[in-house]
Amino acid sequence: MTSAEARPGAHVIVCVGPGGVGKTTTAAALALRGARGGLRACVVTIDPARRLADALGIGDVGNEPHRVEAPPGSHMSGELWAVMLDAQTTFDDLVSRYATGPDQAATILANPVYQNISAALSGTQEYMAVEKLYELQESGAFDLIVVDTPPAQHALDFLEAPKHLARLLDNRVFRLLMTPTRAGLRALEIGAQLMLRTIAKVAGGQVVADTIGFFTQFEGMEEGFRARARRAEEVLHSDLTSFVLVCSPRRDTVDEALYLVTQMGASGAEAATVVVNRCYPSYAALPGATAEALAGTALSSLVVNLEQLSAVASMQDSQLARVASALPKATVLRVPFLSRDVADLGSLAEVADYLA
């Protein structure tokens, strides 16, 4: 029995999709839907639009769950919580947790290479999102955790995020750098020594020194990190986790979404639900003769409009058909073009209604 199964654990929904399709809003609406259904639900947002963050009350506070009150006039039998991911703080907390003592933690936190890894290395945000998710999942405080993913080109960046640090630690060059003794360095094959020298030549000797320093300081914590990453990965690949693909009905976003679907499949994940945002409604067309008769009247602009919006609707249908054939078992939920962006809990509730 894996540790993920041993724990009752919260259900996890991971929202994946191309950038600019409303993933964060969808994630928040799914959490709200859960809270209305009586669950203690928490949404983990990554870089939300300011008004959405303000609406959730997390505009200024980050990294710890914040309770969101029910929208006026609506009933919420469960609880809605929101957290805005702060990757840097999450990583710092993780270092403090696994350090052998405050001294080791302080040394690592001050190392420039650590600061680069935690603040700027691509993949760290994904890794920390998974870490946050795992922390919340393990806390037992929630029944449902909905997580937004960074706008990555690769769904794998997220799915494989826990492997990120392991990959870094397993990198051949890093392993060489971690060999702490001079004897070890002497024992390096000539090719590897050349490599180190080349890195020093390109990026400066200080860089190599800092990197060696970081990995030396990191010693002893590695196993804790690895074990935790493995457990987080188990949760992501267990039955507790389901995936929601978020897209819009445009060809380019559907292209990207289908690409994500293929990649997820390779990683053993499949989206059970597809949320299609910004759908235009479809309308009954006018007979050609009627449309012609109205040309030149005060209604001609309405006729043109109907034709144009019908063209948009049929475009949408053909794109949605592609999604349906790629994911035949998935439930496809359409959310219409809303009259305004989600800027308060009332409009978030409106989105949640479409996801019911």
Partner 1 sequence: MGPLTFLTQARVLIVTGKGGVGKTTVSGVVANLAVRNGLRAMVVQIGAPGSRHEPEALHLSRLYGQEQALGYEAVLLDANEEGGEVLARALWPDTALVEYLHRHGMRRLSRRLVSSGALDVVATAVPGMPDVLLLGKVKQMERAAAVGEPDAADLIVLDAPAAGHAIRFLQSPHGVADAAGGGPVRQQAEEVVAMLTDPSRCQVLLVTTPEETPVTETVETARLIEGTGTKLSAVIVNARLPVLDLPASLRPAELARTAAAAGTKLTTAELESLVAAGRVRAQRQQAQAAQVARLATELPLAQLELPFCFSSELGPDELELLTDALEVAVSGTAEVAP
Q: Which residues ranging from 236 to 295 are in contact with partner 1 (CB under 8 A)?
A: 248, 251-253, 255-256, 258-259, 280-281, 283-286, 290, 293-294
CB of 231: closest distance to partner 1 in angstroms?
Answer: 24
Based on CB atoms, which residue is closest to partner 1, 64 or 302?
Answer: 302
Distance from C-alpha of 209 to C-alpha of 216, rounded to nearest angstrom: 10
Distance from C-alpha of 205 to C-alpha of 196, rounded to nearest angstrom: 9
Helix, strand, coil content of the chain in percent (nearest 5): 55, 15, 30
Per CB under 8 A, contacts with partner 1 among 18-77 are: 18-21, 47, 49-51
Per CB under 8 A, contacts with partner 1 among 93-112 are: 112
Does 86 interact with partner 1 (rule: CB under 8 A)? no
Chain centroid to Cα 252, Å, comes to: 20
**Residue 87 in contact with residue 118, Cβ under 8 Å?**
yes
Question: Among the candidate windows 60-68, 90-98, 233-241, 306-314, which touches partner 1 by CB under 8 A?
Answer: 306-314
**Residue 44 in contact with residue 136, Cβ under 8 Å?**
yes
Distance from C-alpha of 236 to C-alpha of 158, rounded to nearest angstrom: 10
Closest C-alpha among 234, 229, 212, 2 to residue 94: 229
Question: Among the candidate windows 96-104, 179-187, 234-242, 313-321, which touches partner 1 by CB under 8 A?
Answer: 313-321
Closest C-alpha among 79, 232, 62, 74 to residue 144: 79
CB of 63: closest distance to partner 1 in angstroms?
Answer: 18
Kindly write down the DSSP assignment for every residue of 301-341, as one continuous string.
HHHHHHHHHHHHHHHHHHHHHHHHHHSTTSEEEEEEPPSS-
CB of 209: closest distance to partner 1 in angstroms?
Answer: 10
Site string for partner 1, 106-145 (x = CB under 8 A): ------xx--xx-xxxx-----------------------
Site string for partner 1, 151-190 (x = CB under 8 A): x-xx-------------x--xxxx--x-------------
Residue of 139, 206, 238, 331 that binds partner 1 (CB under 8 A): 206
